[in-house]
Amino acid sequence: MKGSRHIRGLLVVALLGMGISQFIGRMAPVCGLALGQPRDPAAADANRIYLEVGVLEPVDCVDLHNEAGQPLPVLFIESAGRTVKKGDRLVELDASALVEKRMQRVARRQRAEAELSLAKASMEREERGANGQIEIAGKALQLAQRQLTAFKEAEYPDQLTTAQNEVNLASERLAMTEWRMRWLEANTKKGQNGEATQPAAEETHLLEARIALLEAKMYAQTAQNKLKFLQSYLREQRVAELELTIARRESELARAKDAAGDAADRGRAAIAFGETNLRMTSDRLAHLEDQIAMCKMYAPRDGTVVLPMDTSHNRPGEAGIEVGDTVGNHQTILRVADVSRLKVDIPVSARAAQRIVTGQPAVIRVDAIPDRTFEGRVATVLTASEDPTGSGKGRVTIALDNPASTLRPGMTAKVELDLSHK
């Protein structure tokens, strides 16, 4: 009895196993898998159909970024899916913070312009003052030089001639006085005891003659001393004084020229600094004005507004950016794309990449339109060694036409590739 029950249990298990095997055998062709083959793509390289999932992207698109240099709130943004023409407004960011900063930079540029004007005016004043000092010092030097020349060529010879004439005159006067004295003495009568016996008037004349003789001798000596003084001392002393004056005037002229050069250097340095400062403030203001202008973004081409891709996960952005959201610096806000031609990138195993060729057809299905298939072709094939991500897998790009705009960027696409040609 127990044996018969055991046999019946084995028969039931066998029948169930046969039914499950038949069910799997019927479903395998529908699923595109060979019976007994693993579902992992790396292990399915030998299969006739290679399945992989990717996201549809436009082949030709232009990204619009926040290039304002800082995070800013969104005032307006065009809706995704809208068809736009070149020049249509797509995004406007709140530039009020930049406008306030612009006012400050305008004030800085005006201050830089004023400082540059003051530096130029100051340099002109200093140049005029320095040139005036140079002119004064030059005239003073010329005067000293003329004084020296005049002393050597006119003043000293005149003084020497005058002194010589005075000596000659004093000598003649002395000679005449001596002659008169001798004459008066010779004509004075003397008594037996040797005393004069002429009248008192004659005695007076003789006394006056003696006094005049003394004066003539003194005058002659003075004239001789003056001539010697001129010849031996005055000329050298006066020439030395005038030459010293010339040296001082030359030094003053040199200092005036040095001062003028220093003033010119300071002026040029101040002007160069002012010009650099003005150029920097102008450049910063121009850059800020460019940033303000970049807060309004216009369509660079005809196309359709689409959400940017999330490059970190290779999928479209979640819900898109809305009015009031703050976008970061250089953040992609939206795309303007030509949706008439799309592409999908899929990873493939290293073995599968060797069996896929450019131009090979591909069948594409999307979840949003489950009852239709779309035809694409392989545009590029990268082997595992060529993949820039270093994932160790190959990468295939399939391109497909979308003239009726039935498909939209961001749709999830299932790609089927026939590997039976190899």
pLDDT tens per residue across span 177-186: 889 888 888 8
The better pLDDT of the pair 36, 69 is held by 69
| pLDDT tens digit sequence for 64-108 | 999 998 999 999 999 988 999 999 999 999 999 999 999 999 999
Predicted TM-score (pTM) above 0.75 = no
**Do residues 113 and 278 make contact, with C-beta atoms less than 8 angstroms apart?**
yes
The residue-averaged pLDDT of 370-379 equals: 93
| pLDDT tens digit sequence for 286-329 | 999 999 999 999 999 999 999 886 544 444 444 579 999 999 99
pLDDT at 310: 54
pLDDT class for 48, splitting at 50, 70, 90?
A: low
Residue 263 has φ and ψ, to the nearest 5°, of: -65, -40
Task: Point out the least confidently predicted range of 14-23, 30-39, 274-283.
Answer: 30-39
Establish how many alpha carbons lie within 13 A of residue 300's alpha carbon, considering only the half-sphere containing its beta carbon: 12
Q: What are 118-125's contacts with CB under 8 Å, separation 24+?
A: 119/267, 119/270, 119/271, 119/273, 119/274, 120/267, 120/271, 120/274, 122/267, 122/270, 123/263, 123/264, 123/266, 123/267, 123/268, 123/270, 123/271
HEC string of 224-287 equals HHHHHHHHHHHHHHHHHHHHHHHHHHHHHHHHHHHHHHHHHHHHHHHHHHHHHHHHHHHHHHHH
Mean pLDDT for the chain overall: 82
- Tell the burial category of 392 from Cβ atoms under 10 Å away from its Cβ (0-12, 13-18, 19+): exposed
pLDDT at 202: 73
Domains of the chain in sequence order: 32-92+297-418 (2.40.30.170), 100-291 (1.10.287)
Structure token digits, residue 412: 């999830």
pLDDT class for 20, splitting at 50, 70, 90?
A: very low
The residue-averaged pLDDT of 375-379 equals: 94
